[in-house]
Amino acid sequence: MPFSYAAAASGSASSSRKPVPVAAAAARRPAPSPSNPSAVSDSDPSSYSSGEETDLTASDPAAASVISSYLSVAGDGADLSKVGIFLSSAARRRSPPCLICFDPIRLSDPVWSCSASCFALLHLHCIQSWAHQSSSAAPSPTWGCPKCRFPYPKSQTPTSYLCFCSKTVDPAPDPWILPHSCGDVCGRRLNADRDSGCEHNCLLLCHPGPCPPCPAIVPNAMCFCGSHRETRRCSHQRYSCSGKCNKRLGCGIHRCPVDCHDGPCPPCAVRGKHKCECGETMEERLCSERVFQCKRECGGMLQCGKHSCERGCHAGKCGGCPLQGRRTCPCGKKDYPSLDCDAEAATCGSTCEKVLGCGRHKCPERCHRGSCVETCRLVITKSCRCGGLKKEVPCYQELTCERKCQRLRNCGRHACRRRCCEGDCAPCPEVCDKRLRCGNHKCLSPCHRGACAPCPLMKTISCNCGQTFFEVPCGTEKNQKPPKCSKKCNIARLCRHKLECRPHKCHYGACPPCKLICGEELSCGHRCKLRCHGPIAPPNPEFTLKPIKRKKEKHIDSTPGTPCPPCQEVVLVPCFGQHLGQERAILCSKRRQFPCQNLCGNPLNCGNHYCTKACHVLQIPLSQPEGDQLAILSLASASAFAEPCEECNLPCQRVREPPCSHPCPLPCHLNDCPPCKALVKRPCHCGAMVHAFECMYYNNLNATKQQKVRSCGGPCHRKLPNCPHLCSEICHPGQCPSVDQCMKKVNVRCACNNLKKEWICQDVLKEYRQSGRDPKQIPKNQYAVGLLACGEDCVKKVKAADSELHLRKIQEIKTPAVEVENVPKRRKKRNRGQESVESSKFQEIKAVALKFLLVIFLCIIVVAGLYLLWKGVYRLSDWMNDMEEQRARQRHLKPGRL
């Protein structure tokens, strides 16, 4: 994409201060003065004239260093007018006043910048106080910018001092970069306040004011109507193609005739004849206003069929009657659900209780039609107009008294003294006699409200030596400072810089403190970088205009100097475990090691794992050179946090060679694992026996040898799939070879089992296949039965067997008792067991049926109980409601009786 700030990103990412020397040179140079100094406001950079922002690269090298990378991508025609105004103001190193406190904003002061629209620069503590007061006083928890009044929520109250791009907290003042800037790439989102679809970030250096327009090139930028595409800048990718919009308007019939534009299309302006909603009136109107209502009343019948519709022109049906449905008596206490809409609701007979015109009492009459009585005759306690008398009078009467008015007049000091005054008191005729603002004289004007006129007298204010003075109005001397005197102060300094400090002029009070650096060498080897804090000479008396009573002069000794504070030099201190990248910047006076958030990480004695303790001081460092071991050992002996690394108690977790599923029985160790002696059970190929091998021996064999050692050496003992015989081969892997070549002899019989011959099993299989039968579906006891054809002898034997069977059945019928006696004992016991089983099943069915009936009966009882309970509660509720109504009626009837 063409939008690649390669030069700006590489220059600012590698060193955020690379282009700074140019900015520093511009900062050391005197800033050019504007053409009209009176029109320039330091607090508002937007007030500078447009002549200063035309050529930023030629007039201000500091601004040129910030925007140089942007111009290399965007070209000389980029719009940088707004950015240039703020950059020029910041690069001149001015001290603009804060809009809240009007104090100048120095380079080291924490500031806040409005990021919404005006980008005004204010003191951080001033805007925090402003936001707190605004959000507390306003009904909504928001506060506005003091300049542009942009509303901010209370949650966005600034809490810390940030740079312009809000990436750095408390940016240090640096003379080589712009004030209040971090010197890094801005990185803010470009065109964030518009719906332009720009996803690029600002790659200028951290700068005040708004970010410039996005200079990226968009190859297929679509116009507003979507009919034209062209290559444009990202910040101007929304444009008009000057053609017809031609979008479908809201009417859904016509298209927009306006030129290509942004935002929604205007209403349809095509004129035509349209009907109103009821369809009775035809008017010529705009297409966007084609839905309208005429002035004719509807007059149609409502759904009740008794009343007519009083609505105006409308579409659809007239609807239901508003008098249908719930009807009540005039007071609204009794409902008439089945009352017709044309029937009048009857009164309920209870008290009306509507609020009367006084707004405090209710109507005591019975339910009635029409309005209640306007005059409230209930006797109440009232106070007069001035509040001095209270008396019981009817509610509609007014009460006045004979008491004099004690309200203050317009002066606010004296009472009116009129009888029951309504508040229109006369002006006060007395003299004011209040002390003036000067605090020295009194006002002689008539008594009045507000501040008195200023005092006309003058006061003289002079310097400490009295040679310089000026006059001010009386009373303003308290807010005045003594004049500046050109004479030099004769008080000698007592600090170590008395020969280096510059002499100062005449003044009141203490001499200004020494602004030089202390420079004393501390015990750690660094020098004190604070201001001078040595002894201070005794001060002159403070400035005052009031005469001081003569007292004995007290001798004021010089203030002794304070010792140098602990060293504030920032040094890098490593953590307990000497981890890389975990050093902390700590003050030299508070220098001590600390535990970091990392684990120890030193290898344990097992050589496989690392110490998982928190960062601690090592007793025996393992990964330090000889020169650093002595320093760490000395620190470990002197530190209370010194402790050894943990011991490895984990089992061995290595993968054995050759790999097996058995873990190593030894604890975590450094050498190779011993060979695996665990027994591995493997069945033979035919499943007749199970072999037990050592894991190491079995896994070292290849696939062929493993198949060989698993053979049991005996017959296969696996059943053939097509016949009921077993395999006759030696135990082998895979499928048996003699599947269809079984050589065992089989007795082949006829269907009646009279004829029998011996065949080979493979001949029997062939015979089954020739007859179209599957040998696998033949039962084992019927194998080879029915393959021989029956002869004549078979028929004779079958007939003889049938006759014998018939005779046997006749004998069983004749002698049933004998047959029962001849039944073996085992068969009798079996029959008894079957009978007992049958009887037990019946009992189980009977028990289950009884349980089911019992559950149904209990459910019926529970449902009936709940129904009766609900009825009882409902009747109790009705009774309580009736009692409450009777009590309410009694309460309302008591005032009427009185």
DSSP 614-673: BS-B-SS-SSS-HHHHHHHHHHHHH-TTB-PPPPP-PBP-PPPSS--SSPPSSBS-SSPP
* DSSP three-state, residue 235: helix
pLDDT band for position 826 (cuts 50, 70, 90): low
Residues 192-221 have pLDDT tens digits of: 555 567 788 888 888 888 888 888 888 888
Q: How many residues does the chain have?
A: 898
Inter-residue contact 575 to 595 (CB < 8 Å): yes
Distance CA 369, CA 568 (A): 91
pLDDT band for position 424 (cuts 50, 70, 90): confident
pLDDT band for position 855 (cuts 50, 70, 90): very high
Inter-residue contact 501 to 537 (CB < 8 Å): no
Beta-bridged to residue 570, according to DSSP, are 587
DSSP-derived secondary structure letter, 171: P
Distance CA 844, CA 850 (A): 10
Q: What is the dihedral of CA 709, 714, 718, 720, to 10 degrees?
A: 120
Q: What pLDDT shows up at residue 612?
A: 86
The domains of the chain are located at 92-256, 270-315, 328-339+346-369, 403-456, 570-611, 669-739
For residue 770, what are the contacts with CB-CB under 8 A and spacing of at least 6?
Answer: none
Tell me the two tokens of residue 542: 């403070």
Distance CA 783, CA 767 (A): 12
Percentage of the chain modeled with pLDDT above 70: 77
Rg (CA), the chain: 56
Distance CA 117, CA 121 (A): 12
| Mean local confidence (pLDDT), 154-178 | 87
Tell me the two tokens of residue 541: 């008396």
Q: At what angle do helices 81-91 and 61-74 cross, to 10 degrees?
A: 150
pLDDT band for position 897 (cuts 50, 70, 90): very low
DSSP 693-746: EEHHHHHHS-HHHHHHHT--SSB--PBPSSSSSBP-SBS-SSS-S-SS----EE
Of 117-131, 660-674, 804-818, 841-855, the one with minimum mean pLDDT is 804-818
Angle at 138 between CA 137 and CA 140, to 5 degrees: 140
Distance CA 146, CA 576 (A): 51
Inter-residue contact 871 to 863 (CB < 8 Å): no
For residue 662, what are the contacts with CB-CB under 8 A and spacing of at least 6?
Answer: 656, 676, 678, 695
Q: Is the pLDDT of residue 24 over 70?
A: no
| Average pLDDT across the chain, whole number | 75
> Please, is 558 exposed, middle or buried when counting C-beta atoms within 10 Å of its C-beta (0-12, 13-18, 19+)?
exposed
Q: What pLDDT shows up at residue 853?
A: 92
pLDDT band for position 856 (cuts 50, 70, 90): very high
Q: What pLDDT shows up at residue 12?
A: 34
Positive or negative: CA dihedral 232, 234, 236, 239 = positive
Q: Is the pLDDT of residue 774 over 60?
A: yes
Question: Which helix (H) or strand (E) is 865 found in, with range?
Answer: helix 825-897
Closest CA to 15 of 185, 200, 178, 203: 185
Distance CA 37, CA 48 (A): 10
pLDDT band for position 6 (cuts 50, 70, 90): very low
* DSSP three-state, residue 557: coil
Question: Which helix (H) or strand (E) is 764 found in, with range?
Answer: helix 761-770
Tokens 């928001």 belong to 142
Q: What pLDDT shows up at residue 860?
A: 94
For residue 498, what are the contacts with CB-CB under 8 A and spacing of at least 6?
Answer: 492
Count of Cβ atoms closer than 10 Å to residue 208 Cβ = 23
Q: At what angle do helices 20-28 and 61-74 cross, to 10 degrees?
A: 140
Q: Measured in whole angstroms, how far is the alpha carbon of residue 722 from the centre of its chain?
A: 73
Residues 445-493 have pLDDT tens digits of: 778 776 665 566 777 888 888 788 887 777 777 777 788 888 888 888 8
Residues 352-379 have pLDDT tens digits of: 888 888 878 888 888 888 888 878 888 8
Of 210-219, 421-430, 569-578, 693-702, the one with minimum mean pLDDT is 421-430
Residues 302-311 have pLDDT tens digits of: 878 788 888 8
* DSSP three-state, residue 288: helix
Angle at 317 between CA 311 and CA 322, to 5 degrees: 55
Q: Look at the pTM and tell me if it is higher than 0.85.
A: no
Q: What pLDDT shows up at residue 557?
A: 64
For residue 68, what are the contacts with CB-CB under 8 A and spacing of at least 6?
Answer: 19, 57
Tokens 């009807």 belong to 327
Distance CA 410, CA 360 (A): 35
67 vs 114: which has the higher pLDDT = 114
Kindly report the backbone phi and psi dihedral angles of residue 191, in degrees, each rounded to the nearest multiple of 5, phi listed first.
55, 40
Q: Is the pLDDT of residue 502 over 90?
A: no
Distance CA 898, CA 894 (A): 7
Count of Cβ atoms closer than 10 Å to residue 60 Cβ = 26
Characterize the bridge pairing of strands 745-750 and 690-694.
unpaired
Count of Cβ atoms closer than 10 Å to residue 112 Cβ = 24
Residues 584-615 have pLDDT tens digits of: 888 888 888 888 888 888 888 887 888 888 88
* Helices (runs of H) and strands (runs of E) counted in the chain: 13, 21
Distance CA 67, CA 230 (A): 28
Q: What pLDDT shows up at residue 857?
A: 93
Q: What pLDDT shows up at residue 15?
A: 33
Closest CA to 123 of 146, 105, 96, 142: 105
Phi-psi region of 601 (alpha: psi -120 to 50; beta: other; left: phi over 0): left
Inter-residue contact 245 to 225 (CB < 8 Å): yes
pLDDT band for position 893 (cuts 50, 70, 90): low
Q: Is the pLDDT of residue 5 over 80?
A: no
Tokens 């659900």 belong to 337
Characterize the bridge pairing of strands 745-750 and 785-788.
parallel
Distance CA 516, CA 510 (A): 17
Distance CA 498, CA 496 (A): 6
Distance CA 80, CA 68 (A): 12
Q: Measured in whole angstroms, how far is the alpha carbon of residue 768 from the centre of its chain?
A: 81
Question: Which helix (H) or strand (E) is 679 found in, with range?
Answer: strand 679-683
Distance CA 214, CA 202 (A): 8
Tell me the two tokens of residue 521: 């060498």
Q: Is the pLDDT of residue 288 over 80?
A: yes
DSSP 27-83: HHSPPPPPS-GGG--TT-GGGS-GGGSS-HHHH-HHHHHHHHHHHHHH-TT---HHH
Closest CA to 696 of 652, 653, 654, 658: 658
Q: Is the pLDDT of residue 621 over 70?
A: no
Q: Is the pLDDT of residue 60 over 80?
A: no
